[in-house]
Structure 1
Amino acid sequence: MADNRVVQGRMVTPESLAEIIEGESVMDAEAIEDADRDCPDCGGDVIKVGYMPSVTEFVTGFKCQDCDWAETDRE
């Protein structure tokens, strides 16, 4: 699948990107997309992935492709 992207020099799948953002394993992840925004820390390109950390929760996670910055849309 062409969903994979390079993040901080390594190839990630939607699931592995979601796990980097979440800090633990996730149940399911959608395709990685461009977030159309720049990283607030380094100005690099930000990508986003929608994922389910649990059965009842859906989160959109954002991750810089160049540095450690990441965040989610959780309240």
Structure 2
Amino acid sequence: MPDNRVVQGRMVTPKRLAELIEDDTVMEADSIRDAERECPECGGDVLSVGYMPSVTAFVTGYKCQDCDWGTREE
């Protein structure tokens, strides 16, 4: 499975996807995965990525491929 995916018409890396969710830089990111759920705003496909926003934290972020919606779980 490729590491890069298309989000809102742009090819993004796992780290860039995490930065879109976090709205800030991140230290490290795992591979992008299909979250197997629909976006609550537009019904589009949602991707997930695990990442480290800081040295002491690991979160899972979710981002719609089609709209601005995104969220995270600690």
Query: Smaller-chain TM-score range?
Result: over 0.9
Q: In 1, Cα distance between the equivalents of 2:2 and 2:38? A: 22
In the other structure, the counterpart of 1:53 is 53
Cα deviation 1:3-62 (Å, max 9, x = unaligned): 100000000000000000000100000000000000000000000000000000000000
- The answer to whether the aligner puts 1:6 opposite 2:27 as a matched pair is no
In the other structure, the counterpart of 2:33 is 33
Q: Percent identity?
A: 69
TM-score w.r.t. length of structure 1 = 0.96
Alignment of 1:54-69 (within 5 A): 54-69=54-69
Alignment RMSD, CA only?
A: 1.0
SS of equivalent to 1:17: helix
| Count of residue pairs the alignment pairs up | 74
